[in-house]
Amino acid sequence: MSIQATPSPERGDFIREIVAADLRDGKHQTIVTRFPPEPNGYLHIGHAKAICIDFGVARDFGGRCNLRFDDTNPTKEEQEYIDCIQEDIHWLGFDWGEHLYYASSYFEQLYEWAVYLIKAGKAYVDDLTADQIREHRGTLTEPGKNSPWRDRSIEENLDLFDRMRKGEFPNGARVLRAKIDMASPNMNMRDPALYRILHAEHPRTGDKWCVYPMYDFAHGQSDAIEGVTHSLCSLEFEIHRPLYDWFIDNLPVPSRPRQIEFARLNITYTVLSKRVLLTLVKEGHVRGWDDPRMPTISGLRRRGFPAEGIRDFAALIGVAKSDSVVEVGLLEHVIRDVLNRKASRRFAVLAPLKVVIENYPEGQVEEMDAVNNPEDPSAGSRKVPFTRELWIEREDFMEEPPAKFFRLAPGREVRLRSAYFVTCREVVKDAAGEIVELRCTYDPATRGGDAPDGRRPKATLHWISAAHAMPAEVRLYDHLFTRPDPGADGDLFADLNPDSEKVLQGCFVEPTLAEVPVGETVQFERLGYFSPDPDSTPGHLVFNRTLTLKDTWAKLQAQGKQG
RNA sequence: UGGCGAGUGGCCUAACGGUAAGGCACCUGUCUCUGGAACAGGGGAUUGAAGGUUCGAAUCCUUCCUCGCCAGCCA
């Protein structure tokens, strides 16, 4: 998507209001934002919200949004993540152009700034262990104590920091700290660590460094280097802002970025925590980072969610500072809304029941014209073969139908979509009493789906010619967790939904479905939206259910059970 | 019992001193070759609480309550 200027909203969210004011007041001529992922996992829909805000604000005001990897911790970061993150952002519909950056590109500059602070008497090398530092830090209600190493000479600090860089000390032996205020009520200001020793291979800088800057020491300065004007992040960094500003105030940085925080996304029945998602992957609870049940961007993509829907969702939930939990139903509604307009309609039978049209000529094949998308006439139509033997959905027949069941039943006539009206004449059962086949008759005058005499069946069913049906595996997905607030009882994994994936074999789909490419989502009429899984091959078709259609019949049944 | 931040129908968001708006969800109907979609209508908020300022407060002030975040050599 190209970044283009659109009229700035009179009154947008609070961030856009700040940006608009800064532009109006001449504080900035043009604005720059950035999306700063740490390459330690896959992006999820919470990041998608942030991406839509970061890139969206820049776009709305004719500015620019950089992609900058916050790669300051080589023990957790991998090239695979760097690659997938870029793919996901592009798929979402955003582009950073030439502005791809890495915090690791600024390591030399950051090191120089650390030396600058030492020389200014504002940073020192601490020999305390991590445990001792913690003890000295105090608590939320008690001030901390100064480290005994806090007042080393500048010369000694310079020498020690230089030797830290040269690799003379093991991991954890020493740390460079800012000299601020051990009694600050803000824990972040109690002499925060700036650099730690990490003898680790970095995905981009290799073994060049063995000291790495902490997030706080890298982020704001990286923003300043890139000329970022508005550094948008989530609420948990609000408490870091005084420190963010302290570095900007005390360092000769080339620009003065402003950090603005917004509430991160929470969604019912889902967990948006990279740590938890990583565990789900590592412990094999899901098929991988891109499992269709995962809230990752790659998972949603594999599930069949269109990027447009995710963008619409981000726009709909808005931007604010209050913690909130969005109902997953809203996401699903937005996705259905996009898919209803865009998805091609097809026939597929998940649980097949054989139907034989007794009065239909054996061996005859008719090509029925089926509309591809009633919402979009330009989508045209396709030919679907009709023959004497068909598959219909098992759920579409009941031998003893309850009052509100409108579908097929003995003696009842229904419409086969885009084909004929058929009437059930006989139910064939096996020795066990299981229904194995329905004997029906059709009305030749109803070809195409309309009766000359104007009669209208209460139900219209989807169907597939048995001779033309393509076998397929279909994977049905449901929420990964059983409760809206997974883990609220303490054990997150106890809340995993054992039925979040159901794999159906022996499904049948219409022939055209063999050609749907991965990445496209179609509607199986009356069933829902489905998308081919990457596991799908010409010899073994596999479809993922993206979402069901809204199903008032299922709802009625559910209510009946409760009542 | 430290600091920072946030409280608006079930959920999300708006209202920028002028009398609570929209989306989702829910409920009714209409229509329909998807029990989908679409369309029409409906119920539901004394804006966390109590005071105060004002002709007038969700908006300003005070106190209180609740929730979130912060004590990594993670980001």
For A258-275, letters b (16+ CB in 10 Å) and e give: bbbbbbbbebbbbbbbbe
Report ipTM (2 d.p.): 0.97
Catalytic-labelled residue, pool A274, A303, A342, A407: A274
* Residue A525 beta carbon within 7 A of nucleic strand B: yes
For A69-103, letters b (16+ CB in 10 Å) and e give: bbbbbbeebeeebbebbbebbeebebebeeeebbb
| C-alpha pair distances (Å), A271 with each of A45, A276, A305, A457, A492 | 10, 7, 18, 45, 9
Q: CA A296 to CA A46: how far, in whole Å?
A: 9
* Residue A454 beta carbon within 7 A of nucleic strand B: no
Q: Sorting pLDDT into bands at 50, 70 and 90, what band is A561?
A: low
Q: In angstroms, how far is B73 C1' from A495 CA?
A: 34
Question: Quick one: which residue's CA is nearest to B4's C1'?
Answer: A239
In the annotation, is A366 catalytic? no
pLDDT, tens digit, for every residue of A6-29? Answer: 333 456 899 999 999 999 999 999
In the annotation, is A394 catalytic? no
Q: What is the pTM of this model?
A: 0.96
Span A280-292, mean pLDDT?
97
Q: In angstroms, how far is B20 C1' from A286 CA?
A: 45
**Location of structure tokens 């993922």:** A544
pLDDT, tens digit, for every residue of A359-390? Answer: 999 999 999 999 999 999 999 999 999 999 99
Phi, psi at residue A45, to the nearest 5°?
-65, -20
Examine the pLDDT at A2 and tell me if it is beyond 70: no
* Residue A369 beta carbon within 7 A of nucleic strand B: no
Phi, psi at residue A534, to the nearest 5°?
-55, -20
Examine the pLDDT at A331 and tell me if it is beyond 60: yes
**Angle ∠(A129,A162,A173) on CA atoms, nearest 5:** 15
Q: Sorting pLDDT into bands at 50, 70 and 90, what band is A280?
A: very high
Closest nt to residue A319, judged CA to C1': B13
Q: On chain B, which bases lie within 7 A of the protein's CB atoms? A: 1-8, 10-16, 23-27, 33-38, 67-75
Tokens of A264: 């991160």
Average pLDDT value over all residues in chain A:
96
Please give residues of chain A from 185 to 224 whose alpha-adjacent beta carbon (CB) lies under 7 Å from any atom of strand B. Answer: 185-188, 192-193, 196-198, 212, 214-216, 219
In the annotation, is A166 catalytic? no
pLDDT above 90 covers what percent of chain A? Answer: 96
3-state helix, strand, coil in chain A (%, to 5): 30, 25, 45
**Burial group, residue A484, by CB count within 10 angstroms (0-12, 13-18, 19+):** middle
